[in-house]
Amino acid sequence: MEPYRLVNTAGIWYLVASQNDKLKTFTITKIKNLKNTEQTFKPNKNFLKIIDENRAIWFSNEMLEVLLQVDIKVIEYFIKKQLLPYQQIIQKTIFLLTIQQFLFF
């Protein structure tokens, strides 16, 4: 495992690290049998860029597109403020709002 960054989100600490050439997120409280070594690694520039540009805490090489249809009763909340990272409104009617969101898993 190659550690890149510690991230605190809503009071929970996560470690962003690469493992088997993939970026992953680990909950600090679930890490067991931690062993400190003198081993070093050269950071992957692509991983650093992904980490710097990502506002979410979850990292993965697999991405899933999700389309959300929001009822008219709560549309205003999604228009006023971006409630989801990278949400994009792709259709708006008088009855509902369709939002595109990408999830990493």
What DSSP string describes 13-59?
A: EEEEEEETTEEEEEEGGG--S----S---PPPHHHHHHHHH--SS--
Residue 53 pLDDT more than 70?
Answer: yes
78: enclosing H helix or E strand:
helix 75-80
- What pLDDT band is residue 56 in, cutting at 50, 70 and 90? low
CB atoms within 10 A of CB 53: 7
Residue 51 pLDDT more than 90?
Answer: no
Task: Report how far apart, in Å, the C-alpha atoms of 27 and of each of 21, 53, 87 are.
Answer: 19, 20, 25
Q: Which residues pair with 22 in a beta bridge?
A: 19
50 vs 71 pLDDT, higher one: 71
Range of the structural domain that residue 82 is part of: 63-104
Q: How many domains does one find in the chain?
A: 2
Same structural domain, 48 and 71:
no
At which of 53, 75, 95 does a domain end?
53
- In this prediction, residue 92 carries a pLDDT of 92
- In this prediction, residue 29 carries a pLDDT of 92
Same structural domain, 39 and 77:
no
pTM of this structure? 0.58
- In this prediction, residue 12 carries a pLDDT of 85
Q: Residue 58's closest CA among 11, 105, 19? A: 105
